[in-house]
Chain A
């Protein structure tokens, strides 16, 4: 049987079956009780997070654990973590599209949705973490009566632009892929109100060969643009740190290693979502174990690269023999944060090694555990990047430990709540698996 057949059950070889399977659960289908419970719970958490953020705005950054030495804490870690997760979606849709990976068809849609949500959340933090958030727009170059411009040497300014452009791009890319499906929904039987909305956004898609050709061309062109863009986003995040002279930050490896780390955490999230969606929406026929297996392989690869990156970091410290770097190394393995360090290594490097075994790659519980392990491990990494360096800089007199406050944790939880609730809502109004691409697959499978 053809390569396509691997990714689609025979039962799904008929277009109507695909359409019904995907479009069925949308608005016309009843939302289950579990959906409602999940939504309310996540909204509650998001609300609490919003309140915590409000508190920080009202009283200032002093509500967080940051101190004179460790001036960056959770907010920046949240930012780096979420933007990392946001990287995977575009990778899947763009890179896998360019490399003609059939299995992407099933997962790219919700991966992109994930990207947009994650990047939007991440984008909040550069503003939230400011001492004077109301002036965030000073980072943008606009003619003003002060004759002042942002400082182009600062990685933070480029961050500002990287996030913004990446967000806009992902939105357009996501919407582009959505158009044919919106048209399908428009033309199916269903609640009139929703069909009008879908119809409006379908922009009058006819599915004429000309439209298809244009669509294909645009999608591939954007995919080509996407790839360097997505790399740039997280390399710049890496430069926020690398372009400094603090021990543990002055690492030329940071940009690539941040990008890999990003895909890594992103894929873990995709895997998690895939498991949830196929279970919740009953799409086992389209999101098959073969898909999970593929994701697992990606995790394995990335996890090994992470190990390599860590190793090279430690090696370079030992190699240069710089007092500060050695102290940094000793601190990260024996200091008060050592627990996090080992947690990070366990989650990011060791757990994925389980996937050498094909059986484990297909076992749902293992997949869940590893995916969670990676997500947690990556958060530890973000925290450690900040706290190790800032806690023991060059001046022993200034050494200070970082202790997050309840507000820190609430804001972090809030972001998760926001993400989940937004995703739950999306799952009701747009097809989380692209119908037309599945049909393509079906065509091939039948051929």
Chain B
């Protein structure tokens, strides 16, 4: 290395001795003027700026972490989101206080993929008798009279390439509350779960913990009281039997 070192020690500045701080700021007044043109090239603060810049550069990837974390918040997933409806329907009142069974309106839930949002006729079965001229029900009556359908806003939205099937879940021990939580406590319906693929997979990877005896399907809090041993055994056997013929995490389970 000898030649290169000897060559380089003074090579860069054509042999002039040089004394300056990190960014070429002259050290002390004494040396001022000795070095032509360098005097005001950088202010003393420049050093710290440079250092901060370097540190920032190194730390910048951490910004991504924030973006990633954001994905999991309700802000992105919509969890906890309320949606304005044309008719401010209250599950709390109908299902909770009046104790109407879920399946009275969502009659498709045990027989088809869709739980079915009730037709205007279903609403009118009662509301042709009671609250017949309540202002808040005007849209319902209008729909019934005109034959134009009521337009509700979707609360629990899965992407269109996700094929969810209610009756498979409901008939296999997945309670309504697993995805919708306790609707009987909701005056206005909100999205109770993140509805992300991750959240679906939690259950599909290990369904057993989420299943309840069939008689608890429509309960508000199906998980609260412990499940009796016999039922646990039955659920266990059911899951085992299922997993002998299926892989619930196959993409085709939900995507086509």
Contact = CB atoms under 8 A, between A and B. Distances in A.
Complex A–B touching at CB under 8 A: yes
Interface of A: 15-16, 19, 142-148, 180, 183-184, 186-187, 189, 192, 195-196, 199-200, 202-209, 212-213, 216, 436, 439-440, 442-444, 447
Contact of A189 (B4, B9, B37): B37
B45 interface: no
B50 interface: yes
Given A199-B23, A200-B50, A145 B71 contact: yes
Given A200-B50, A205-B12, A207-B9, 11 more contacts: A16-B14, A19-B14, A145-B71, A184-B13, A186-B41, A195-B41, A202-B24, A206-B20, A207-B13, A436-B11, A443-B4
B201 interface: yes
B1 A216 contact: yes
B251 to A, nearest CB: 10
Given A207-B11, A207-B12, A443 B6 contact: yes
Interface centre among A145, A184, A196, A212 (most CB of B within 10 A): A145
Contacts of B194: 145
B3 A15 contact: no
Given A207-B8, A447-B3, A199 B24 contact: yes
B68 A143 contact: yes
B218 interface: no
Interface of B: 1, 3-14, 18, 20-24, 37-38, 41-42, 46-47, 50, 64, 68, 71-72, 76-77, 194, 196-199, 201
B198 A142 contact: no
Contacts of B4: 212, 216, 440, 443
Contacts of A442: 7
A363 B54 CA distance: 47
Contacts of A186: 24, 41
A189 B23 CA distance: 16
A335 B61 CA distance: 51
B123 to A, nearest CB: 36
B131 to A, nearest CB: 42
Contacts of A205: 12
Interface of A is mostly: helix
A146 B5 contact: no
28 contacts: A15-B14, A145-B71, A145-B76, A145-B77, A145-B196, A145-B199, A146-B198, A147-B197, A147-B198, A148-B197, A184-B13, A186-B41, A189-B37, A199-B24, A199-B41, A200-B50, A203-B22, A204-B24, A207-B8, A207-B12, A209-B5, A209-B9, A212-B5, A212-B8, A212-B9, A213-B5, A443-B11, A444-B3
Contacts of A443: 3-4, 6-7, 11
Contacts of A204: 21-24, 47, 50
Contacts of B14: 15-16, 19
A199 B37 CA distance: 13
B24 A439 contact: no
A183 B24 CA distance: 9
A210 to B, nearest CB: 10
A136 to B, nearest CB: 15
A162 B148 CA distance: 59
Nearest to B23: A204
B41 A196 contact: yes
